[in-house]
Structure 1
Amino acid sequence: MEKTPNKLLVVLAFFSIYVIWGSTYLLNKIAVSELAPFMLAAIRFIIAGILIFVLCKFLGISLSVTKKQLKNTIMAGFLFLTFGNGIVVWALKFVDSGFAALEISAQPLIVLILLRVLEGQKIKTMSLIGVGLGILGMYLLVSQNQIISDGDSIIGMGMIFLCLVSWAYGSIFVSKADLPANYFVNTGYQMISGGIMLMLASFALGESWSLPNTWSGEVQISMVLLILFGSIVAFTSFNYLLKVVSPEKVATSTYVNPIIAMSLGWYFLNEQITIQSSIAALVLLTGVYFINTKKKLILLARFKGRLRPKKVEI
């Protein structure tokens, strides 16, 4: 019989991808104000991957993987980190941190559409309501003139949209792929491979690299937080959740992240929050409620005289 996921771990993991990841938009915005975007992301993920491997060795966790698992982690590293995150960091040079987060809140809709196209999965009524509210909330936010008046933001918006498609497909891919069973090992290989690809992209684009002792104190602190919490803790939680709950449910983090990102951007960077933005935030959270309150369906099938629970849509 399959092991039932630990409820406390699931709750803590959702806290990580909701709150910790919501704060990474602020941290990346601070860091990219001084550092080249692909260099920034490459350093973050390579160091995080190395630290994870060191932790695994200390805990006696084997780092051995099959060729297929290695190939799949490289693919996931590209979808999530090299393209999915690297381009977002680059786009933060042109858009506010809160705006970037709330544009990515359209990801649950993309996940459902991809599941429908690729797997023929029916979109449930509650999911449609939740996604609809999420898109409405996003529209209320991005339709404000003070947000979209800057011409450079159009390019940033377009690139971020491609990133959320990459993340949506990556979420589906990882939920089905043969990956290392240990979540630290899985995360470590994705970090290292994604970071190396970002480093190569940085060199190809001719970005200037600098040593940490030349960075400002704010950037140094931001990088430490991004590596330890944004990368190791939150991304490991993300990979864990993709194996124990449905991709659509994991994607609801993109509804909560904008609320966290907007609040932190307002407090630390003086990014404006209007009444319309506040109303939109409430609509987004309502969308999260509708998606998360779908009833769990557990299918039982007989196998050699025993009932075995199978994971289905949650």
Structure 2
Amino acid sequence: MGKPRNTTLIILAFFSIYVIWGSTYLLNKIAVTELPPFMLASVRFGSAGLLIFLLAKFMRINISISKEQWINTTIAGFLFLAFGNGTVVWALKYVDSGFAALEVSAQPLVVLFLMRVLEGKKIQTMSLIGVVLGIIGIYLLVSQKEIINQENSVLGMFMIFLAMLSWAYGSLFVARANLPSNYFVNTGYQMVMAGVILLLASLLFGETWSAPTTWSSPVQYSLLLLIFFGSIVAFTSFNYLLKVVSPEKVATSTYVNPIVALALGWYFLNEQITTQSIVAAAILLTGVYFINTKKKLMIFSRFRR
């Protein structure tokens, strides 16, 4: 009787990392049209982190960590969530959600590049093919006149690239850093500290905060979905899958998320999907497939959303 139940859990977990993570671009796009981006990201991660701590206490999980681990979770929270995700949320003011998801899907290419530059790792033949295809796909994606002509779209694309650099360096950092052994606790601290950093950024940039009761219903629902499902359920599902299926299967979310984001953006926000975008997506995701044959890169996809 245990096997069918496990199969059901696996299916539900894959649904989470495919559909929920893919939908976070749409949800952020809806919310950022009304809320300041750093405030939005601060509320999302701060709330999710505090909820994780409450769940940890309920499950009697020890949340105490050392000073070194606190510093490292703060650095990781900045690289992955505060700067990485917060910058993408800001960029969604100027670029379509589906486009942002496609650009972000090239992150393994950036990780590979930094591993070569900072660690001197040799790029294998399969990965080299992936890099070439990835560059071609990115060029086709960002060179479209329909996108370039949009106001501040180039700035948005550049900021997403900086976010990808932050994620990539964070990926290398966490591989060596002393972090809490319990992933639930580790995630909680990263989210809470990211929420604090984003709060400070929001105040620094002079964003105007508002009460949730003044937000429109779509924004309220979007933020609740981001907190409970995008930040907690999907992340827990990801870690569960890493324990019960191969990393190659878990990494397939890298290819599914942009497709989900494109479809949702087109259906709910009337975002345009050009033929060149479809061709660019096919080439780019093929390149990511070649790069993701290296297991070491696959585990980093969880920090992108």
Instruction: Report what 1:185 is aligned to.
Output: 185
Partners in 2 of 1:244 and 1:143 — Cα distance? 41
Distance 1:259 1:134, change over 3 A: farther
Q: Give the match's secondary structure for 1:85.
A: helix
Contact in 1 for aligned 2:108/2:292 (Cα 8 Å): no
Higher percent of residues as helix: 2
Partners in 2 of 1:262 and 1:243 — Cα distance? 29
Distance 1:97 1:240, change over 3 A: same
Instruction: Report what 2:262 is aligned to.
Output: 262
Q: Give the match's secondary structure for 2:106.
A: helix
Instruction: Report what 2:164 is aligned to.
Output: 164
Q: Are 1:196 and 2:214 an aligned pair? A: no
Contact in 1 for aligned 2:29/2:92 (Cα 8 Å): yes
Deviation at 1:175, TM superposition (A): 2.1
Partners in 1 of 2:7 and 2:289 — Cα distance? 18
Instruction: Report what 1:175 is aligned to.
Output: 175
With 270-279 and 130-139 compared, the bigger mean Cα shift is at 130-139
Instruction: Report what 1:96 is aligned to.
Output: 96
Instruction: Report what 2:302 is aligned to.
Output: none
Instruction: Report what 1:68 is aligned to.
Output: 68
Partners in 2 of 1:67 and 1:126 — Cα distance? 41
Contact in 1 for aligned 2:50/2:188 (Cα 8 Å): yes
Deviation at 1:277, TM superposition (A): 1.9
- Calculate the aligned-residue CA RMSD, in Å: 3.1
Deviation at 1:178, TM superposition (A): 1.2
Contact in 2 for aligned 1:74/1:189 (Cα 8 Å): yes
Deviation at 1:19, TM superposition (A): 3.8
Partners in 2 of 1:228 and 1:14 — Cα distance? 17
Q: Are 1:110 and 2:110 an aligned pair? A: yes
Q: Give the match's secondary structure for 1:84.
A: helix
* Counterpart AA for 1:272: Q
Deviation at 1:96, TM superposition (A): 0.9
Distance 1:107 1:214, change over 3 A: same
With 129-138 and 157-166 compared, the bigger mean Cα shift is at 129-138
Deviation at 1:15, TM superposition (A): 6.0
Instruction: Report what 2:123 is aligned to.
Output: 123
Deviation at 1:233, TM superposition (A): 2.9
Partners in 1 of 2:261 and 2:210 — Cα distance? 27
Deviation at 1:283, TM superposition (A): 2.3
Contact in 2 for aligned 1:175/1:243 (Cα 8 Å): no
Deviation at 1:130, TM superposition (A): 2.4
Summarize the alignment of residues 230-241 of structure 1 with structure 2, pairs less than 5 Å apart.
Answer: 230-236=230-236
* Counterpart AA for 1:282: A
Q: Give the match's secondary structure for 1:35.
A: coil
Q: Are 1:222 and 2:255 an aligned pair? A: no
Instruction: Report what 2:32 is aligned to.
Output: 32
Q: Give the match's secondary structure for 1:273.
A: coil
Partners in 2 of 1:115 and 1:12 — Cα distance? 34
Contact in 2 for aligned 1:95/1:153 (Cα 8 Å): yes
Instruction: Report what 1:300 is aligned to.
Output: none
Distance 1:250 1:267, change over 3 A: same
Partners in 2 of 1:217 and 1:225 — Cα distance? 12
Question: Which structure 2 residue ranges, 5 or more long, are not aligned?
Answer: 1-5, 297-305
With 256-265 and 46-55 compared, the bigger mean Cα shift is at 256-265
Partners in 2 of 1:172 and 1:266 — Cα distance? 35
Partners in 1 of 2:136 and 2:7 — Cα distance? 31
Q: Are 1:44 and 2:13 an aligned pair? A: no
Contact in 2 for aligned 1:255/1:284 (Cα 8 Å): no
| Structure number with bigger Rg | 1
Deviation at 1:262, TM superposition (A): 1.2
With 47-56 and 99-108 compared, the bigger mean Cα shift is at 99-108
Deviation at 1:209, TM superposition (A): 0.9
* Counterpart AA for 2:24: T
Instruction: Report what 2:301 is aligned to.
Output: none
The number of residues matched between the two structures is 291
Q: TM-score, normalised by structure 2?
A: 0.84
Distance 1:163 1:130, change over 3 A: same
* Counterpart AA for 1:21: W
Contact in 2 for aligned 1:252/1:288 (Cα 8 Å): no
Alpha-carbon deviations, 1:44-67, whole Å to 9, x = none? 011100110010011111001111
Deviation at 1:13, TM superposition (A): 6.7
Contact in 2 for aligned 1:116/1:123 (Cα 8 Å): yes
Q: Are 1:272 and 2:249 an aligned pair? A: no
